Structure 1
Amino acid sequence: KMAAATVVVPVEWIKNWEKSGRGEFLHLCRILSENKSHDSSTYRDFQQALYELSYHVIKGNLKHEQASNVLSDISEFREDMPSILADVFCILDIETNCLEEKSKRDYFTQLVLACLYLVSDTVLKERLDPETLESLGLIKQSQQFNQKSVKIKTKLFYKQQKFNLLREENEGYAKLIAELGQDLSGNITSDLILENIKSLIGCFNLDPNRVLDVILEVFECRPEHDDFFISLLESYMSMCEPQTLCHILGFKFKFYQ
Structure 2
Amino acid sequence: SPPKPCPQQPRPLAMSPPLQAPDYRYVTEECLREWKGQSAAAFRLPDPVPMARFLYELCWAMVRGDLPPQKCRAALDSVVFVEEARQEESASVLADIIAHLGQDITISGEYRSRLVKMTKSLVESSLIVPRLLQERCEEEFLWEVELSKSKGQDLKAKEVRVNTRLLYQQTKFNLVREESEGYAKLVTLLCQVGSDLACQNASSATISIVKSLIGHFDLDPNRVFDIGVGMF
TM-score interval (norm. to shorter): 0.5 to 0.7
Q: 2:28 aligns with which of 10, 19, 32?
A: 10
Coordinate RMSD, CA, aligned? 4.1
What's 1:58 paired with?
A: 63
Task: Tell me the residue number matched to 1:143.
Answer: 153
Q: Return 5+ residue gaps in structure 2 as ranges.
A: 1-18, 80-84, 192-221, 228-232
The whole-number CA distance in structure 2 between the counterparts of 1:135 and 1:4 is 24
How do 1:184-195 and structure 2 match up within 5 A? none
- Counterpart of 2:114 in structure 1 is 107
Q: Distance in 1 between matches of 2:102 and 2:160?
A: 21
Q: CA deviation at 1:100?
A: 6.3
Deviations 1:230-249 (A, max 9, x none): xxxxxxxxxxxxxxxxxxxx
Q: How many Å apart are 1:7 and its aligned residue?
A: 2.5
Aligned-partner Cα distance in 2 for 1:122–1:69: 24
CA contact (8 A) 2:139 2:156 kept: yes
Question: 1:3 offset after TM fit, Å?
Answer: 5.3
What fraction of aligned residue pairs are identical, expressed as a percent?
24
Contact 1:12 1:21 in 2 (8 A): no
Q: What one-letter code is carried by the residue in structure 1 that aligns with 2:106? A: L
CA displacement, residues 13-48 of structure 1 (integer Å, 9 cap, x when unaligned): 1133236777335x65xx45xxxxxxxxxxxx3111
Q: Deviations over 1:114-172 (max 9, x none)?
A: 01132222211111121111111111222221122222333444445688899xxx8xx
Using the TM superposition, give the Cα deviation of residue 4 of structure 1 relative to its aligned residue in structure 2, in angstroms. 2.7
Q: 2:163 maps to which residue?
A: 153
Runs of 4+ in 1 over 6 A off after TM superposition: 19-22, 161-166
TM-score, with length taken from structure 1: 0.49
Q: Which has the higher helix share?
A: 1
Number of corresponding residues: 159
**CA separation of 1:159 and 1:90: change in aligned 2, threshold 3 A:** same
- Contact 1:72-1:118 at 8 Å conserved across structures: no
Structure 1, gaps ≥5 residues long: 33-44, 179-204, 212-257
